Each structure stands twice: as C-alpha cells, then as structure tokens.
Amino acid sequence: MPHQESSHRNEKALLWEATGAFDNYGQPVVGDAEEIDVKWQWSKMGSRQPMIGSRPIEAIVHVGREISEGSHMLLGDEEEWLSGSGVSDNDVYEVVSYQEATDVKGRGTRRLVKLARFKDKP
C-alpha cells in the first residue's frame, strides 16, 4: 500500500523547473515542461487569503519531490497545454514557497509548494 503522502496525488500538473539562472530582466530561467502527479488545492479568496509578502497565495500543491522557488506550474496535463483546450498563459503560476515535513517515525515526507500569480507577466 502506498504511503499517504503519495496516494492522494491523483491530478496532473505541468512543471517548468527553475534552473538557478536568471535572464536579463532578473526572472528565473526555467527548463522544459514535465508532467508530475499532484494534489492541487485552491486557496480561499477574500480578505483572509494567505499572503507571502504582498502576493496572495492562489494555490497550495502537494508534490512528490523538492521543487525550486521560481519554477512555474500549471494544473493540467501536457496534452491540454499543447492543444490549448481550456488553458492559457494566465493559468501558469509561480512557485513562491516550498515546505517539507517528515512524519515522526521518518517513514514518509510531506512536500508542498505555494503558488502565486506572477508579479510581472512572464
């Protein structure tokens, strides 16, 4: 039986991982898209919406590995992205936080990222 940390990730997302380099405008350079398994939770809207700095958190996503801040993520699979059916550039979010916690017995690790809209259009 799979660990609880992996059994609930039943949605697909596209990830453009940050390479660690920056372009001429100070934006992170990202690699090619890869499809990963996630559990995507939209953040609550309104006056009590969580924030990182001055940026509201749009989604909290449970992932299976470490993901660098500055990476880009889209809810949906590669086929949806390439066909353009129901997704657009506005549906791509920036990873602004990565958190990891291991259970008390050290058997499983819970990893999540927090996503925000881009400060500037990519």
Q: What tens digit of pLDDT does each residue of 36-68 get?
A: 999 999 987 555 556 666 688 899 999 999 999
Residue that the structure tokens 């499809």 belong to? 35
Mean pLDDT, range 3-29, rounded to an integer: 83
φ/ψ of 79, rounded to 5, equals -65, -45
- What's the pLDDT at 122? 46
First-to-last CA distance in the chain?
Answer: 41
| Structural domain boundaries in the chain | 4-116
Q: What tens digit of pLDDT does each residue of 59-101 get?
A: 999 999 999 999 999 998 888 888 877 777 788 999 999 999 9
Of the options 1.10.3470, 2.40.10, 2.60.40, 3.30.70, the CATH number for the domain spanning 4-116: 2.40.10
What pTM value is reported for the model? 0.81
Q: Select from 41, 34, 42, 39 the least CA-distant residue to 64.
A: 39
